[in-house]
Structure 1
């Protein structure tokens, strides 16, 4: 009984801060595809702080503005290099699933990925305990890691 109460207390007063980013390369189009799962309340707080506005991701008054802010924020905090070349990402959109926003990006055609360098500091300015999980799936080979704040960069070789 006491253990249950302590677990509930810990959960309430020590929240969990994590995002998950998945990066793939479409074998037909050779585009890099990115999906980032971020708790929408944390993302809203980051957008409000950075852009000095009051954004609602769940019920946006101006969906175009929210799309632009999410796109700009994530592009500032998620950088990808393929074979030592920067990859420009285009925002595709976002959707809400339970407590999270799934944010989608895609690049133009890039060469087959041999090396993938990822810089991801999404929400690091919001939470010192932020963890960003990264999964890269290239030609059926999956590599994963986690970046604990302040570690921001990982390299994968395929």
Structure 2
């Protein structure tokens, strides 16, 4: 579903405020997609609460990962990447594309994961199917922000509506 510009800022501030509190009553992720014209790629950042991601990975059969801790499992990045590939799928200009895993970084109670899709000469439209953590939390929301040439468009996806499409001129 498309979100109006008037609605996205209050909703975004609400969800971002939740990211900076210790307990979070909402289940939300933010996926930022930036079209880099120079490198002809999509640079993707996904922000997820660590405890939510651990719960999602546990449902996939990966327990005791200790994300961001000294005793983190050596295969954690691989598990995260596999989970993200299953949970967030992209179609760019009518073609299915698969992102490569770039890495992750910790920020308090959240983890940023970085992905990249190469060989994107132009971004005319993007379809995102995101069911990230919707099988774990029935009220999970996934905000997708796509930026091209300084213009940002947004999607709000959930368990009921996991798919959205944005068109750029």
- Same fold per TM (> 0.5)? yes
Contiguous gaps of at least 5 residues in structure 2: 1-20
Instruction: Note if 1:39 corresponds to 2:49.
Output: yes
Deviating more after overlay: 52-61 vs 22-31: 52-61
What CA distance in whole angstroms lies between the structure 2 residues aligned with 1:85 and 1:60?
Answer: 40
Deviating more after overlay: 59-68 vs 90-99: 59-68
Contiguous gaps of at least 5 residues in structure 1: 1-10
Large movers: runs of 4+ above 3 Å: 11-14, 60-64
1:9-34 deviations in Å (ceiling 9; x for gaps): xx999821000000111111111110
Q: Which residue of 90, 102, 119 corresponds with 1:109?
A: 119
Q: Secondary structure at the match of 2:75?
A: helix
What CA distance in whole angstroms lies between the structure 2 residues aligned with 1:94 and 1:12?
Answer: 21
- Alignment coverage as a number of residue pairs: 148
- Aligned-pair distance for 1:63? 5.2
> Greater CA radius of gyration, 1 or 2?
1
| TM-score normalised by the chain length of structure 1 | 0.87
What CA distance in whole angstroms lies between the structure 2 residues aligned with 1:58 and 1:38?
Answer: 13
Contact conserved, 1:78 with 1:120, CA < 8 A, in 2? yes
Q: Which residue of 63, 67, 73 corresponds with 1:57?
A: 67
* Other-structure match for 1:7: none
What CA distance in whole angstroms lies between the structure 1 residues aligned with 2:88 and 2:68?
Answer: 22
What CA distance in whole angstroms lies between the structure 1 residues aligned with 2:116 and 2:26?
Answer: 28
- Aligned-pair distance for 1:52? 4.0
- Aligned-pair distance for 1:62? 5.0
| TM-score normalised by the chain length of structure 2 | 0.81
